Every structure is written in C-alpha cells, then in structure tokens.
Structure 1
Amino acid sequence: MTIRRSSSSTSQFDSRYDVVLIGGGIMSATLGALLTRLEPDWSVLVLERLDDVARESSAAWNNAGTGHAGLCELNYMPDPTDSSRAEEIGRQFLLSRQFWAALVEAGDLSASFVTATPHMTVVFGNRDVAYLRRRYETLQHSPLFSAMEYSEDPEVIARWAPLVMDGRDESVPIAATFHEAGTDVDFGALTRDLIRGMRDRGVEVRTGHEVTRLRRVPDGSWIVAGRSGSGRFSVRSRFVFVGAGGHALKLLQKAGIPEARGCAVLPIGAQFLHTDRPDVVSRHQVKVYGRADVGAPPMSVPHLDKRVIDGHDSLMFGPYPTFSTRLLKQGRLTDLFTTIRLGNVAPLIAVGIRNLGLVRYLVGQLLASRGRKLKQLRRFHPTAHDGDWSLIDAGQRAQLIKPHPRKIGVLAFGTEVVTGAEGTIAGLLGASPGASIAPAAMVELLNTCFPDRTQYWRPTLEQLMPDPAQPDGAGVTGGHDVAVGG
C-alpha cells in the first residue's frame, strides 16, 4: 500500500492524514520517529487521551527501566539449555541501542535517558544454583553473552552487589551472573524526546483527545473519532496504529478486525518498594534479578534495581502484583468489562481454570502485609530497614489472552503486533519486553503493513539499525551504539 500526502486542513473535523498514531507512549513515539525518516512527506497525527505524553506505562516510575537484553531475566530462559528466546531479545535490544545512537549522533536525541547499569542474576539453594550454572554455560556459546561472568564465591558476589551479601547466612548456597554492559532506561524521558523530535519534523500531536470509535470506510481509509476538551473530533487516515497500552484491545475490537476476535486481557498492576537514602543507594550500582515464586507470572520476577531518573539515583524492589479492572493506571473501573465479548468468554474461563496457581498467587499478593513484602526484600537485601523504604504504585499491564485451537485460550507473556484490514491498521498487545524492543517491533510492523515500501526503506533502516546478526553488524563486532553514562 502506497500512501501519498493528503491535503491539510485547519479544522479538527474530517482532517485527513496518512498515519494516525493512537497513544503518546514509547511505541507510537518510536513508530513516528521512524516514519519521519522513512517518509518525511507523510502527514502524521498523534492522539493522546491524557494532558501530556508518556504518562502511562512509559512513565519512568510506571516501569522498572530495565533495558531488557536477556542478560539477567531468567523468565526468558526457563530451560537452561535453550538460549533462543534470550538471544532474540538481546539482538532486538541491540537494534534499539543502535537506533537511539543514530538519533543521538544526528543531534535529534539526548543520551541522558540511558545509564550504564550492570545486570546481575542471583539465586539461592542447590537446585537454582545448578540451573544458573547450566544457563551460564549455555550462554557462553553466544557472542551476545560471552562477556558474562559467573561465581558461587560470596566474596566475588559481594564485590558485585554489597547489599545482597551484607548479613547473609553463608550456609545457604548462592550463585550469581554479572554483565557489565547492562542499562537503566528512563523510557518516559526517551518518549518525550522522540515526540519533541517528531514535532520538529512536522508531526501533529494532540493531547486530551480520547479515541472512542474506529470505522473503516469504503475507500479503505479509517475514521478515527472521539472526544476532547472542546467536544467531539473526527479525522480520516489511510493507516492507524493503536499504541494505547491496555486500551489497545478495546480499540482493535471497535475496529472490528477478525485478528482481534477471541482475544482478551488480564490486567495486572504492580507496586515497588523504593528508597533514595544516599547511604543505601550508593552501595548498590546494579540491577539484580532472581527467580519468580512458584505460580507467579513471569513479569513478577523479583529484582532489586538501581534507578536513575532526572539525574537522581534511587533503588526499587519488587514487583508486588496488584489487581484492578482498570486497563490503564489512569483508566476507568469499567475498562475490563468493555473488552468482554461472546467470542472471548471461553478463552478467559479456560485461562482461569488452567492457571489456578497464578490466581492463588495474585490473591496471596493482594492480601500480603507490609511485613511480608519486607521479608521478600530482605531475601535480596538482608539488612534492609523498614523505615528506609516506601511503597509506590507502578503502571498497569494488560496481559494478553489468545484463543488456542486445543487449549481454547492461553495466557501470553510477551509483546505481539496485531495487523488487520489488508495492513491498514495495527496494534500492539502484551507487556514485557515491550519498550526495550520498540524499534524492532515497529520495523516488523512496517514490513508487514507496507510490503511495497520495504525495499525502498531498507537502506535507511540498515543505516539506523545495522543487524547484529550479520557479520558486519553492530553491537557485537562493530557499528554504532548509544553512549551511556553513570
């Protein structure tokens, strides 16, 4: 599908655009930043329901800020002999760093949103030590992970993460991996910077505009309509991207595309314990991940992280799952119910029955006292003092439930691009690794929705993101990479 620039209009009613991006988060910002370089003559509109961009899942305190690269996240490698998922995420994150670096080098992006923060994994007990040792041995065969270090020596682990070893019972077996090249990313700052650059390149951004209706018209374009502070609005676009976080499924359902039928969502929120005490923060310069509890969803992997937000260092530990029928942190209590259809009731029920352990875990977490939450923290920071830590609310995630031919419905942990109507509409469903692999996800979307433009775009994309899987690719043996500080 080839899109030509439409005539402009000063009216907010029936304006025509080549592309409308719904949602002012990292995904829309990434896709918009790509399009302004691939097709600078296309007209692009961003619609955000809140009064500013990057205020939901992309906001700094609404996510853990981990640059997901497979370095420490054990949930990406449940089988210690199979590194395929970890390697794929590692490769995709390298593409992200290359894309960001290209924009930094061009003067279109500041590098202050990313900070060098080693990634580390810690496990306890003989069984988990054996697992981590085997995982490390497997990863050593990949150039993406060959710089990773492994130790079962408490003194070595104490050098990597002093807080983890202070006051620890040395009779309990412990093992850790350490990778110097990890990152902490302020996705909120990154999103705002990307959207500023888009505005400079002519992209129109409207905040306070909530999309409530999507309808395809006979010529193949879409009517995108909704409400704003000044009343109702309606625009027409040849292509629509739904990057609305937890609201994405609801909008794709309104669009009536078959690809969204049978899909449902399970909203899961989170809280973190947080401290900015200088004497505590200064002794922990890493992101330390462990293993999820039995029955816990993969996105609930416990981790003790250094965070750098607006130049200020702090620590956070969690997550502690929460539940709400809101699909966005600033959503409505009715959100979940608006996504229920006859076609997704069976998948919802099937997933609930098949994941009773997850249900019990979530209920237990919701009922957990502060003392129990501190006990979980002290597994990673044995000498933690209650008064040093406060609870903060993180973002809301909508975990995707997909129809399945044999299991009726399955709970999908990951990020999936959904396209429909001959590639004229697309949306992103799911959660982690999400923001970390936004450039790779958006390139996949572009290749799927605009196959006639792929060959034309290839030189620009290869310049922005040299494929690290190729012999001359970046990230492993060459190419550019985003500068990190700290």
Structure 2
Amino acid sequence: MSVLKSDIILIGAGVMSATLGTIVKELAPEMKITVFEKLKGAGEESSNEWNNAGTGHAALCELNYTTEKADGSLDISKAVKVNEHFQLSRQFWSYLVDKKIIDNPKEFIMPIPHISMVQGEKNGLFLKRRMEALSDNPLFADMEMSDDPAVLKQWMPLIMDGRKAEEEPITATKCETGTDVNFGSLTRTLFEHLDAEDVDVRYEHMVKDLKQSPDGTWKLKVKDLKTNRVEHHEAKFIFIGAGGGSLPLLQKTGIRESRQIGGFPVSGLFLVCSNPDVVEQHHAKVYGKAKVGAPPMSVPHLDTRYINGKKSLLFGPFAGFTPKFLKTGSYFDLIGSVKPNNLFTMLGAGVKEMGLTKYLIQQVLLSNEKRMNDLREFIPNAKNEDWEMITAGQRVQVIKDTEAGGRGTLQFGTEVVTSQDGSVAALLGASPGASTAVHVMLEILTKCFPDRIKEWEPKVKEMVPSYGKQLSEHPALFQDILKKTAHTLMLENPIHEPSDIRQLS
C-alpha cells in the first residue's frame, strides 16, 4: 500500500483553506501541502458568492454585534473585535495585490456604504446609544447618523420612496468604509495561485476517514470520486475547513476536543431583484434589527452585491431547514452527527432552543407573499414580479456545553477547535466567518506551530503590518493602514471627515 506524504493537508477548498494555504506558502514555501475537495472546483459551497451575503463583516452596520446589557448600556466588545479582525484581512489582501498574487482587486472587493436602519422611537434610541458607544473608537470614526427624511432619501432612496408621513420614524447610521466581498472569486484566485506554487489540489476527492498514529502523524483514507479508488495519505498537520462538513470530519478524528460538540443546520433563502432599474436605485448594505424572539442570524438586510461584474440586489435572509450540513450533503447528516459523547448536549439544546425551533417552523411555512411583505418593510413599493427566491448556503450552528450557558448552548459565530498537540484544527460555525479568515488562520498557526511562529513573525508583519497590535488603541496607525489598503484595493473615497450629519437632526 503506497502512502503519499505531505507536511500539511487541507480539507475543503473554500476561502479558509485558500487563506491558510496562501499564508503558509509565504511563510514556509518548502512545505508540501495537499488539498482535498469533494466538489469539482474551489469555492463551490459556503464560499460561493451566491451562498453568503458578501458583506465584509466589520460591525459597521450589523446590530447583533452590539448587545444591550441589563442596565441599558451597550457592550461593544464584539463589534470592536470583529472590526479588528477584518482589518487584518484587508491588510493581507493588500499584500497579495502588491505581490501580484491578486491582479485586480475589483474582481473580489468593492466599496459600498454600510447602513444600520431602525424604525420607531425605542429602536431609534437604541441606535443613538450604539452610535455614542462606538463614536469614540477610531475604528468607527466615519460613522454618521440621521433621522432627517431628506438625508435618508440621499442615503437609501429606494427604501425611503413611498413612505408615508404617519409611519414610524426611521433612524439610520452610515459608514462609507464598508465593503462588498466576493469570497467565491477570492477563493478561486487564491487556489489558482496555490496550484502555480505546486500545491497538490485534488478535486472530487472525499476524505472518508482519518486516524492519528502513535507518532502523532495523521493517516487519511481518501476516495477519488472519479475512479472510486481509495488513496492513503499522511501528514503532520491537518486543517478541516469543510464548511458544514467540518463537524463530521472533526468527530472522525476522535480527539478529546471534538466531544460534547454538536451542530444544527440552517439554510438561507434570499430574494433577488431581477429588475435592473430597481437595482440601480440602491447602493448600500442596509441592516435592520432582528425581530423580538428571532435569533441573531435572522437580521434582515438589503444588500447591493457585485457578482461576476454585475450589480445585484438581495434581501434576506429567510431561514429554511434541511438536515443536510452542506447543500451537496446528505439528508442523514444531522442524525449521523449525534454521538454518545454529544447526545446530552444535543438534547439540552433541544430543550433550550424551542424558540429557534418555532422560528424555523414559521420561516419554512412562510408564503411568497409573506416574504414580500417583509421586503416591503424595507422597500414599500416592491413588486412581486421584480423578485425571485434563491436558496443560499447551509450553515451549521455550533452546539456545545459552556459555563455561561450550560449544557447544549447554541453558539452564533465562528468556532475554532484545535487538538492539544496542535496537530489538527477545525473551523466550525457561521458569520463573521470568511471576513475574519486571516485572523483565524494566524491564530491557528500560533497554536499549532509554536516552535516556528517566532521565526515567521517578521514575514507575518510584512503581510499584516498591525500584527500583534490593537488598531483601536493606535489611531494614527489605523488611519495610515486604512488609507494604504484602500488605495491598494481600489476602494474609492474610503476616508472622509465626519460631516454635520453625524448627530441626530
């Protein structure tokens, strides 16, 4: 039996593996990397441009990243953290443009204002408190606020058109430094680069099993789906970045850290505008506030997107349910993920998350007219014939036991699981996900290659100049990096002095 040996094996050809592989090739070009992807190409599942919202998540408009405390004050720590992490991605992407690894940044990133919009006096006060809490932080210095209909009509004419004077007042904040990111295009570009760097990328190859040898190396059984032959591979380090497919693979490793972890799949549905005249009337990503009782992942948003060089307009997400962990997965994924070591964790989630279950049932039963009525809360004059429904990607929400939440706590966000010996790492969960890929991969390298990270640090700082620093604590450095990355990534007019619109009218 022949065994093919690698230094690193990446499972899944999405943006996470693309990012890790690219970073490693810059740090240690001598390392042999092999990638396995069960589909026919890179970026076809979660990273695909039609399977995610395409938001460069920096907490500029996502209200679920600023939570309200019992005393009415706001906790902005998560918003700051998400923004810090996105700045690392911007820096790394700029480095790739400078190195000619990415030829045309406009193929994957475009400038687009990020707007938070709420209705009613109570929500308006919440948004004002959020603005006040964030305004002293350099990362959010360009945020403006207004409740003046004339100003709001300039910011989002499609949303303001057709609104009646007696309707609840609208309050909004806007950040010009927002971005739309085509993670599918970015993923494909990076894999083209990796292929040119002699990375062994094997499409239509499914990892069937992985076991650790006594010497610490990992042995993988991989099925070539084209020939049905089984290959045997070996590596010292494994990264599992298979989207919803990561949890079953993590469970196969048998590492202690994989126990008491479960997952619950939620599919996303979006309304897509088919009328170019309507598309041209909107130029922003506008995020609202989740309805009372709805989970954070249900935050409604109206997004300008740039896909395949064409401007698009999407609204959602609406939740759907299937037991598949991937769009291309199996209907047995969910039941197959329930193991003796996570059974009580899953049962605990079932008891605690009745609200989520009710929400999903309601969402699945929504008629097209009900969905259009939700859209009309954003666009009063929306016409049925201008919109069609598409199914976006599957997201597996992580369930685990925590001190704060107890048994079976549902986690909303991105989770990284690493083995104690640092030989395997897996990425689970959902948003902010791809936007924070560079931060996640640098954390993995720090944990899993502790004997080399000091040696690599100078090169890491070349790729990500702010590495090791909190930009929110270094305003001058942040402004310098923001300007430089905006120039390199061709993001038009990314910096401006806050205008008089900053305060409520």
Give TM-score scaled by structure 1 length: 0.95
- Per-residue CA deviation, residues 83-141 of structure 1 (Å, 9 max, x unaligned), is 11101110110110110010011100130200111100100011111100100011101
Aligned with residue 36 of structure 1, among 22, 25, 33: 25
More divergent stretch after superposition (260-269 vs 330-339): 330-339
- Per-residue CA deviation, residues 11-69 of structure 1 (Å, 9 max, x unaligned), is 9x410000000000000000000000010000000100111110000000000000000
Match of 1:476 in 2: 479
User: C-alpha separation between the residues in 2 aligned to 1:190 and 1:131?
Assistant: 36
The reply to whether residue 219 of structure 1 matches residue 215 of structure 2 is yes
- Alpha-carbon spacing, 1:291–1:199, altered in 2? closer, same or farther (3 Å): same
**Contact 2:56 / 2:179 at 8 angstroms: preserved in 1?**
yes
User: C-alpha separation between the residues in 1 aligned to 2:142 and 2:476?
Assistant: 18
Match of 2:173 in 1: 177
The reply to whether residue 84 of structure 1 matches residue 77 of structure 2 is yes
* Alpha-carbon offset, residue 438 of structure 1: 0.2
The reply to whether residue 290 of structure 1 matches residue 288 of structure 2 is yes
User: C-alpha separation between the residues in 1 aligned to 2:344 and 2:410?
Assistant: 13
Aligned with residue 59 of structure 1, among 48, 67, 86: 48
**Contact 1:344 / 1:403 at 8 angstroms: preserved in 2?**
no
More divergent stretch after superposition (76-85 vs 449-458): 76-85
User: C-alpha separation between the residues in 2 aligned to 1:50 and 1:414?
Assistant: 25
- Per-residue CA deviation, residues 171-192 of structure 1 (Å, 9 max, x unaligned), is 3121000010100000000000
Matches within 5 A, 1:225-240: 225-228=221-224, 229-230=226-227, 231-240=229-238
* Alpha-carbon offset, residue 81 of structure 1: 2.3
* Alpha-carbon offset, residue 485 of structure 1: 4.9
**Contact 1:302 / 1:319 at 8 angstroms: preserved in 2?**
yes
- Alpha-carbon spacing, 1:178–1:472, altered in 2? closer, same or farther (3 Å): closer
**Contact 1:211 / 1:226 at 8 angstroms: preserved in 2?**
yes
Aligned with residue 122 of structure 2, among 119, 123, 127: 127
Aligned with residue 160 of structure 2, among 160, 165, 169: 165
> Runs of at least 4 residues of structure 1 off by over 6 A?
none
User: C-alpha separation between the residues in 2 aligned to 1:52 and 1:157?
Assistant: 43
Match of 2:455 in 1: 456
User: C-alpha separation between the residues in 2 aligned to 1:85 and 1:347?
Assistant: 26
CA RMSD of aligned residues (A): 1.5
Give the number of equivalent residue pairs. 475
Q: Secondary structure at the match of 1:248?
A: helix
User: C-alpha separation between the residues in 1 aligned to 2:374 and 2:34?
Assistant: 45
Match of 1:146 in 2: 141
- Per-residue CA deviation, residues 229-273 of structure 1 (Å, 9 max, x unaligned), is 221111000100000111111111100001010100000001100
User: C-alpha separation between the residues in 1 aligned to 2:408 and 2:22?
Assistant: 35
Aligned with residue 186 of structure 1, among 159, 182, 186: 182
* Alpha-carbon offset, residue 472 of structure 1: 8.1
More divergent stretch after superposition (268-277 vs 62-71): 268-277
**Contact 2:35 / 2:202 at 8 angstroms: preserved in 1?**
yes
Match of 1:108 in 2: 101
**Contact 2:265 / 2:396 at 8 angstroms: preserved in 1?**
yes
**Contact 1:466 / 1:474 at 8 angstroms: preserved in 2?**
no
More divergent stretch after superposition (475-484 vs 196-205): 475-484
User: C-alpha separation between the residues in 1 aligned to 2:59 and 2:475?
Assistant: 22
Match of 2:16 in 1: 27
**Contact 1:209 / 1:227 at 8 angstroms: preserved in 2?**
yes
Q: Which amino acid aligns with 2:295?
A: P
Q: Which amino acid aligns with 1:26?
A: V
Q: Secondary structure at the match of 1:194?
A: helix
Structure 2, gaps ≥5 residues long: 493-505
**Contact 1:76 / 1:85 at 8 angstroms: preserved in 2?**
yes
More divergent stretch after superposition (343-352 vs 445-454): 343-352
User: C-alpha separation between the residues in 1 aligned to 2:364 and 2:417?
Assistant: 32
Match of 1:207 in 2: 203
Q: Secondary structure at the match of 2:198?
A: coil
**Contact 1:472 / 1:478 at 8 angstroms: preserved in 2?**
no
**Contact 1:98 / 1:474 at 8 angstroms: preserved in 2?**
no
More divergent stretch after superposition (386-395 vs 334-343): 334-343
Q: Secondary structure at the match of 1:329?
A: coil
**Contact 1:65 / 1:185 at 8 angstroms: preserved in 2?**
yes
- Per-residue CA deviation, residues 376-427 of structure 1 (Å, 9 max, x unaligned), is 0000011101000000110000000012357212000111111015000000
- Per-residue CA deviation, residues 150-205 of structure 1 (Å, 9 max, x unaligned), is 00111111100001101113331210000101000000000000111111112110
**Contact 1:466 / 1:473 at 8 angstroms: preserved in 2?**
no
User: C-alpha separation between the residues in 2 aligned to 1:70 and 1:456?
Assistant: 33
Identical amino acids, percent of aligned pairs: 44
Matches within 5 A, 1:326-337: 326-337=324-335
More divergent stretch after superposition (146-155 vs 348-357): 348-357
**Contact 1:307 / 1:316 at 8 angstroms: preserved in 2?**
yes
More divergent stretch after superposition (418-427 vs 55-64): 418-427
User: C-alpha separation between the residues in 1 aligned to 2:29 and 2:213?
Assistant: 26
**Contact 1:25 / 1:54 at 8 angstroms: preserved in 2?**
yes
Q: Secondary structure at the match of 1:60?
A: coil
Q: Secondary structure at the match of 2:461?
A: helix
* Alpha-carbon offset, residue 78 of structure 1: 1.7
**Contact 1:186 / 1:308 at 8 angstroms: preserved in 2?**
yes
User: C-alpha separation between the residues in 2 aligned to 1:384 and 1:225?
Assistant: 52
**Contact 1:246 / 1:328 at 8 angstroms: preserved in 2?**
yes
**Contact 1:276 / 1:313 at 8 angstroms: preserved in 2?**
no
The reply to whether residue 442 of structure 1 matches residue 441 of structure 2 is yes
Q: Which amino acid aligns with 2:35?
A: V
Q: Which amino acid aligns with 1:222?
A: W
User: C-alpha separation between the residues in 2 aligned to 1:280 and 1:187?
Assistant: 25
**Contact 1:58 / 1:188 at 8 angstroms: preserved in 2?**
yes
Structure 1, gaps ≥5 residues long: 1-10
Q: Which amino acid aligns with 1:457?
A: W
- Alpha-carbon spacing, 1:187–1:475, altered in 2? closer, same or farther (3 Å): farther
User: C-alpha separation between the residues in 2 aligned to 1:94 and 1:187?
Assistant: 16
* Alpha-carbon offset, residue 477 of structure 1: 3.1
Q: Secondary structure at the match of 1:331?
A: coil
Q: Which amino acid aligns with 1:274?
A: V
